[in-house]
Structure 1
Amino acid sequence: MATNEESGDAPKDVKDLISGFMSSTIESYQHMETPVSRYLTLVVAPSVVFFLLTLVVYVVTDFPLLISAPIPLLGLLSLVVAVIYPKILRDQKRKEIEDRLHLFITHMTILSTANIDRVEVFRTLGEEEEYGALSEEMRRITQLVDTWNQSLDDALRIRANKSPSKPFADFLDRLAYTINAGQEIQDFLLSEQDVVIQNYVTIYEGSLQNLEVMKDLYLSMVLSVTFALVFATVLPILTGTNPTMTVSAVVVMFAFVQTGFLIMIRNTAPYDPVWYHPTHQTTDAEWRIRISVAVGFLLTLALIVACLLVLMGRTGIDPDAIPLPIYAAIPTTPLLLPGVVARREEEKIKERDEEFTSFIRALGATETAKQSTTTKVLESLRGKNFGALSSNVSDLYKRLNMRIEPAMAWRHFTADSRSYLIQKFSEMFLIGRQMGGDPKKLGELISANMNEVLQLRERRAQSTVTLIGVLYGITAASTFAFFIGLEIVEVLSQMSIGLNSSQLDITTIIHTNVYDIPTIEYLLVIITLLNAVLSSLMIRIADGGHKVNSYMHFVFLMWSSSLIAVFTRVVVGSFLNV
């Protein structure tokens, strides 16, 4: 009985999922900036015509199925994308809002503690381009107030009804009610901090759970493609089809599958960058990374040229003395240098983030207690041990003591730290102090919010470690499967030569003459190279670190694939030739 109920629940869940998707798509059309009729005329209608044309081409032409089948699929894809594009845009805006909402609310809270007009708070936040869609919402709210003479609470309600993010819409509704009731914005925002942080934690953890689902789905899909590639390599020995074509088709499919998962992981991973990249300043850390990247690429180009000369027989070294997969791995090795340099700098940034919470709390509390300037407080604080942040605190004190403008001194402080969180929270602290905010309250607020983010980063790091293990494991397993199939085919082709006789032509049963072993090996090396590139990019997106970090994983993945390929061919060949 329970089984029947469970089987009945599955179609219901699918039906609810489809109905929810359709209702959200219809809602996205209702909130489009472009009129619906104009969008249907200029975008959807041409995609319908294109789809009908692809159907006509499929029916009329006489191409092979392998070529003709993708034509109507391309038309169908264009039609589906045209129909759901407004939903895609709305979902992207929703994610952008929810990824930055916690920093935005903290920034708003700090501005509200200053003695400025409440509309000016929204106007100031509208100038912060870093917040993206949230800044746009603030500009529209101020536009409703300034241009259309709406009250602030009515403007908030209007934008809440059009917001794609439910947490942000709820926040605007509560804020509108508070303003209408006559309560101070500062009191409301201070009490709202826990709610905002909990919402952010829920969204962040939801993204990490989605990454776990993506990881399991990726594992299943790559294993399926691996089996398909093994079949594409081995089955032509029985069917007589061209194995080079079948293997090439599976290689392209493998690249599409991994690229698709890369895009999905990019859209799923929470937005929480580690690095801060100042636009008008290049720090010593950035110079070290740039120099290491330049050296790494120059050495890689030199090794590529050297490997090509060996393969062409221009060096006197026997090209067959080195296995082909090793030729692919050797030129990647110098890229380990920039990967290690970036990884070391990133570890320092994470140490500074850990120490910054203590520093900003101590700075705010001491300023309030001593009723002193930031410079005087830093004079005593720079003697304390803030770990990797100590030198940055000392440099900040020196700049302020030299009467450098505070905004410029703090800008150098955040640039030297290279931390995204330190940059955002330092800017908030500086603005709050300049507008007359209480230093102790500012320090405690920033410290509490940053501690929550750092705890979430710990969970993200654990999730990334699991993903790294999966990617390295599936790389090893798939490479072993690829090359064991190749070795089996090569051994069978050698055996068929000895089995031929006047009574039996073995080539009528085992079609070894269709194989071009060197070409297939090249294709398998290409697929291991693609896997290393795309897997390293997945790791980089998952951990949110510097893009140069992916170089290190690329080298490790490429070398592990190459060594496993050589090991597989040597060991399996020795067993099968016994």
Structure 2
Amino acid sequence: MASADESAGTVEITLTAALAGLVDAYEQMPMPMNRYLGVILVPSVVFFLGTVAAAVFLDVALMIRGPIPLLGFLMLASAVFYPQILLSQRKSELNNQFHLVVTHMTVLATTNIDRMEVFRQLSKQDQYGEMAAEIGRVVELVDTWNLSLDDACRRRAKQVPSDAVSDFFDRLGYTLGAGQALDDYLVSEQDQIIANYKTVYQGTLDNLEVMKDLYLSMILSMTFALVFAVVLPVLTGTNPTVTVSAVIVLYVFVQSGFYLAIRSMAPHDPLWYHPEDKPSPVESKIRNATVAGTALSGGLLAFSLLGMLGLSPVTLDDVVFFLDPLPLPFYAAIPTLPLLVPGLVVNAEEKKIKARDEEFPSFIRALGATEGAKQSTTSTVLKSLRKKDFGPLTDDVDNLYKRLNMRIETTQAWRHFTAECRSSLIQKFSEMYLVGREMGGDPKLLGELISENMMEVQQLRQRRSQATTTLIGLLYGITAASTFAFFIGLQVVNILSNMSLDLSTSASNFDVGQLIHAGVYDIPLIEFLLIVIIMFGAMLSALMVRTVDGGHKINTYVHFVALTWVGSITGVMTKWLVTQFLAI
């Protein structure tokens, strides 16, 4: 009895906490609560009631009426929990940029500027997104409402949604109020700040592991449902096209939901840097490869469709003459092959960027130490450093020296350096070093600080790379397994339908149609629908990989093509194997 009461009390506490969190999310919305209720929430309730009424009063099949209220419920749930989702996104953005912002703050604090100027400088850095906006609110409290910096930090600590940022503001406020200098506090707290960032980053990767397990379970369940939707109509006589289409729609919703969940959970740590005002030969190479690949893919798709419709004298069957007839899955897979061209080009450039990231900490440490020891300019130090081997970063260092030696403005020379590297991390940390040196910071301290922090980020990226590798293996395995199950069901039905025709002609006194309803099937249409879901799954799986690894969008093409071919080959081989074992 006591156990039941304790369980009930735990559930009540959980519900109360969830409700309090939802109310807090409504209070922190940019839109006033009464306006949100009138513009969003009330119309969603009306829409939900309308879908329920439509399901009750429409004179159509239950299979069509049943999902209608689900659409209304989805709209209502989205409207109710959108403020919570918005708050969660803010929290995620704060956590993603927290470490870089604190590192930048430490770099600025070690220079000769006022501590309020440190906050003002950071609030202007749009690249830090929500974190810059949060620091801007601290600046506003000081400049507009005449609060002290420590009071402003403590005030924002109570309202910021991220626990790590809240704890940082709270400790910073009490430390500044006690009279400690900002640079002393930030330098001494570097280990603690890095540890907090690593905990948050690792927590997001752990959440992705949980999501992968849930994704595997749900996709396997949907695979079984789709196989049953293919096979059961042969016994029940229902329209298999309707049942398969209904399950496919549900399959699409499930996969899309998991993609959005993974996208919201994955750490935002992009690999690429895309400056709009500093074009690079890399960008033109990628653009040319993308235009060529997509044009060839579109041409092959048009050629394939015209051949299937009988509008072209030469068909894909004539080109791929060694496969006669050409299996239907290959009509979808072959046009995707040219997309490998831009995908492989981007993949090769990403490997170079990762190699530059690995070399940059040693470069910036050597630059800072030498510059501090010789008490000379960056250009003079680079004259000797450019002769050292920094791997793929060597040419970029040499170009930086040449620009500085030609008396090009220092800021512009460094901006060209980061644009050529095309690395997001190199851009951010180079900007920190540049600003720190311009404001009189100690080059040795700056170099060591930036090097240590970037190496920590690199270690976290290695863990993310491992998580991406396991995700890739999972997605390829799911694609092969689900396609195998799809086409086993399809080919079994196809063989049963042929058997029923033979039995009907040989035994006229026995009505086979009472047992096997083969006439309700349109096998090519069912196979086409299965190929559509394979292509859709390949697209979303490729997007999941790109979201988790933080790479270029075009790198998605490689996994899309590979997953499409894995599904197509698995489907063709499954049909052949089932035919060999079951055909009479």
TM class by shorter chain equals over 0.9
Cα distance, 1:366 vs structure 2: 0.4
CA distance in 1, matches of 2:581, 2:65: 43
Deviations 1:203-241 (A, max 9, x none): 111111111111111111111111111111111000000
Cα distance, 1:249 vs structure 2: 1.3
**561, 566, 573: which one pairs with 2:572?**
566
**423, 427, 451: which one pairs with 2:427?**
423
Cα distance, 1:352 vs structure 2: 0.3
Cα distance, 1:16 vs structure 2: 5.3
Deviations 1:478-502 (A, max 9, x none): 1111111111011111111221223
CA distance in 2, matches of 1:40, 1:303: 51
CA distance in 2, matches of 1:177, 1:49: 50
What's the TM-score, normalizing by structure 2? 0.95
Residues 40 and 283 of structure 1, relative CA distance in 2, 3 Å threshold? same
Segments of 5+ residues of structure 1 without an aligned counterpart are none
Letter of the 1:476 counterpart = A
Secondary structure at the aligned position of 1:272 is classed as coil
Cα distance, 1:8 vs structure 2: 9.4
Corresponding residue for residue 355 of structure 1: 359
Corresponding residue for residue 312 of structure 1: 309
**174, 196, 201: which one pairs with 1:177?**
174
Cα distance, 1:102 vs structure 2: 0.1
CA distance in 2, matches of 1:29, 1:530: 35
Letter of the 1:170 counterpart = D
Corresponding residue for residue 444 of structure 2: 440
What's the TM-score, normalizing by structure 1? 0.96
Segments of 5+ residues of structure 2 without an aligned counterpart are 319-323
Secondary structure at the aligned position of 2:59 is classed as coil
CA distance in 2, matches of 1:516, 1:40: 48
Corresponding residue for residue 531 of structure 1: 537
Is 1:120 matched up with 2:117?
Answer: yes
Corresponding residue for residue 411 of structure 2: 407
CA distance in 1, matches of 2:303, 2:113: 67
Is 1:211 matched up with 2:223?
Answer: no
Is 1:75 matched up with 2:72?
Answer: yes
CA distance in 1, matches of 2:76, 2:477: 38
Corresponding residue for residue 58 of structure 2: 61
**498, 505, 513: which one pairs with 2:511?**
505
Cα distance, 1:251 vs structure 2: 1.6
Cα distance, 1:247 vs structure 2: 1.1
Deviations 1:90-120 (A, max 9, x none): 1111110010000000011111111112111
Deviations 1:505-554 (A, max 9, x none): 10121100001111111111111111111111111111111111110111
Cα distance, 1:282 vs structure 2: 1.7
**487, 490, 498: which one pairs with 1:486?**
490
Aligned ranges 1:167-566 → 2 under 5 Å: 167-313=164-310, 314-315=312-313, 321-500=325-504, 501-566=507-572
CA distance in 1, matches of 2:227, 2:264: 31
Cα distance, 1:351 vs structure 2: 0.4
- Residues paired across the two proteins, number: 575
Check the 8 A contact 1:309/1:315 in 2, yes or no: no
CA distance in 1, matches of 2:535, 2:8: 41
* Poorly superposed stretches of 4+, deviation over 4 Å: 7-17, 316-320
Check the 8 A contact 1:382/1:397 in 2, yes or no: yes
Corresponding residue for residue 321 of structure 2: none
Deviations 1:164-210 (A, max 9, x none): 11111111111111111111100011112111111110111111111
Larger mean Cα displacement after TM superposition, 527-536 or 396-405: 527-536
Cα distance, 1:572 vs structure 2: 0.8
Letter of the 2:379 counterpart = T
Cα distance, 1:136 vs structure 2: 1.1
Deviations 1:38-80 (A, max 9, x none): 4334433333333333333333433432333333333333332
CA distance in 2, matches of 1:308, 1:116: 66
CA distance in 2, matches of 1:310, 1:59: 46
Residues 396 and 219 of structure 1, relative CA distance in 2, 3 Å threshold? same
Corresponding residue for residue 94 of structure 1: 91
Larger mean Cα displacement after TM superposition, 68-77 or 165-174: 68-77
Residues 516 and 57 of structure 1, relative CA distance in 2, 3 Å threshold? closer
Root mean square deviation, CA, Å: 1.9
CA distance in 1, matches of 2:553, 2:5: 47
